Amino acid sequence: MEAAIILVFVMGYLAITLEHSIKIDKLIPALVMMAICWALIALGLESFPQWFDSGNHALLENFGAFGHEEKMHLMEETLLHHLGKTAEILVFLLGAMTIVEIIDYFDGFATIKSFIKTKKKTKILWIFSILAFILSAIIDNLTATIVLISILQKIVKDRDIRIWYAGLIIIAANAGGAWSPIGDVTTTMLWIGKKVTTGHLIGYLFVPSLLCMVVPSLIASFLPVFKGELEIVEEKEKTKSRFSGTMLYLGLGAIVFVPIFKMITHLPPYVGMMLSLGVVATFAEIYSSSKFSMTEFDDEESEIHSHHSPVHQSLSKIELPSILFFLGILMAVAALESLGILFGFADSLRETMPQLGTEIHEGGVSDLVVLLLGVGSAVIDNVPLVAASLGMFSEPIDHELWHFIAYSAGTGGSMLIIGSAAGVVAMGMEKIDFFWYLRKISWLALVGFLVGAAAFMVTRTLF
């Protein structure tokens, strides 16, 4: 039965990886894979020799001697445990996405465009790279990429030049997302999973991530495509909301407040995110002069007001397919973890891979394994890779392994355009060709990734 579960997982994983080839949204195989894996566990519960206790992160002794009722109860408890952990991530992401959509409702991101006054190509490159690095650490790399490419489309009219900028934005956004607990889904997973803390994450990864952005941008600034000045066509812009700047700074400040709230209260991050959403939504409702109440859906008046409510409109625009994909993939990986498969795989990795850096990783995982994880995240989705690592390794909180995984999984995806959410959305917005990116941008991303990894190996010795 274990072999059947692994086969289902591998087939689902392939369907997710080949999403663009088979033209099936990745949320579908993720949900189907999750449901079938847990169904097979329920049907074959008597045949499994071991069970992984996720709470204590250890295999249960004498699982085979347990009665059927006891095993069923244990399975239900484990399923509930994993659902709770997954829900923490999903509710957190829902809150963050809604705040970003509220900012967009007030055209808050148009404020950023007013910062760009120059026509020099290299200066514009650095402005966008730095903005992507900073914004992705606050509003996540996917959203930062969407915002900046939308602004880029209004500034750079020549698509052949614009896709070069888009390529560097992808690298910078992924680098910026790696050092912040709210900058990338994988880093958020490690943070919520109590593998990293905000202070140590920034301490370990800020310099490597910065170099991962700076080095490719520096090399690119010497390329012929970024020489000279842009021909900027001034367009008559639509009237901005007078609250756009206020909502931008309020929204970004509310998201940054979440890690501070967690440090003060020690409550899970989603609680702070819900508080931030509540504050931002209150100001949004006041500014829009809407009478809509989120709790009233029955009467005709509330239906009319709902069309004018920034909160309701923002909730209707968030990416639910992404939320369902995360639900499917995280719960499917949880199925493998519960059977101890990931735990066994981690042990085999420790035995078979060369122990590079063993003086740092005491009896632990080779640096090569983590670097390969980064390369792997460029080929396949980094979310299941990090989800798997959470079940494979048992190192304590703030162990350097978790920080290296956060860096590798976060920045390694830049090496291929399909390797990260930022790359996929840029590919869709600008119709960037996979092989063009491979020829022109991938080598820059690889250089940045390796320089940052080398920097991490130095910075970790300081903690």
- How much is the pLDDT for 289? 67
- Report the percent of the chain where pLDDT is more than 90: 18
The whole-chain average pLDDT of the chain stands at 81
349 falls in which pLDDT band (50, 70, 90)? low
pLDDT digits (tens, 9 = 90+) for 40-72: 988 888 888 788 776 666 677 777 777 888 888
pLDDT digits (tens, 9 = 90+) for 384-440: 678 777 777 778 888 888 999 999 988 988 898 877 878 877 877 787 887 888 889
pLDDT at 299 over 70: no
pLDDT at 305 over 50: no
454 falls in which pLDDT band (50, 70, 90)? very high
- Give a three-class secondary structure readout of the chain: CHHHHHHHHHHHHHHHHCHHHHCCCCHHHHHHHHHHHHHHHHHCHHHCCCCEECCCCEECCCHHHCCHHHHHHHHHHHHHHHHHHHHHHHHHHHHHHHHHHHHHHCCCCHHHHCCCCCCEHHHHHHHHHHHHHHHHHHHCHHHHHHHHHHHHHHHCCCHHHHHHHHHHHHHHHHHHHHCCCCCCHHHHHHHHCCCCCHHHHHHHHHHHHHHHHHHHHHHHCCCHHHCCECCCCCCCCCCCCCCHHHHHHHHHHHHHHHHHHHHHHCCCHHHHHHHHHHHHHHHHHHHHCCCCCCCCCCCHHHHHHHCCCHHHHHHHHCCHHHHHHHHHHHHHHHHHHHCCHHHHHHHHHHHHCCCCCCCCCCCCCCHHHHHHHHHHHHHCCHHHHHHHHHHHCCCCCCCHHHHHHHHHHHHHHHHCCCCCHHHHHHHHHHCCCHHHHHHHCHHHHHHHHHHHHHHHHHHHHHC
445 falls in which pLDDT band (50, 70, 90)? very high
- How much is the pLDDT for 292? 41
- How much is the pLDDT for 449? 94
Query: Among 122-136, 142-156, 162-176, 262-276, where is mean pLDDT lowest?
Result: 142-156
- Report the percent of the chain where pLDDT is more than 70: 86
The residue ranges of every structural domain in the chain are 79-228+240-463
